[in-house]
Amino acid sequence: MCLAIPVRVEQLCEDNNALVDIGGVKKQVSVALVEDVQVGDYVIMHVGFALNKVDPDEAEKTLALFAEMGVLEQALADNAEALAETEASSDSSSEVQA
Domains along the sequence of the chain with CATH: 5-97 (2.30.30.140)
- CA-closest candidate to residue 13, choices 1, 27, 23: 27
At residue 67 the predicted structure's pLDDT band, cuts being 50, 70 and 90, is: confident
Residue 1: its pLDDT value, please? 54
Q: How would you classify residue 31: left for phi > 0, otherwise alpha for psi between -120 and 50, otherwise beta?
A: alpha
Is the Cα torsion angle 51, 55, 57, 61 positive or negative in sign?
negative
Q: Which pTM was predicted?
A: 0.74
Residue 70: its pLDDT value, please? 78
